[in-house]
Amino acid sequence: MENKPLKISLRMATIMGVFLPLAETVRRSNQIVDLARFLSWFDDYILGAILLIAVYLVKKR
């Protein structure tokens, strides 16, 4: 892959795909077992998964 901006974007997406769920877990650690607040923190897991899937698909192509 010769496209430098694409490499930077992939690296940033990978970092954010891992960092967001970890940071949200630390930030809302007291709410993890509270099912009423489940969507308040779980959306960052979904976002992280989407970012990592996008990185995988771009690298695969």
Indicate whether 6 pLDDT > 90. yes
What's this model's pTM, rounded to 2 decimal places?
0.82
> For residue 48, what are its two tokens?
């992280």
CA atoms of 37 and 47, how far apart (whole Å) = 17
Summarize pLDDT for 18-54 with one digit per residue, the tens. 999 999 889 888 887 888 888 877 888 999 999 999 9
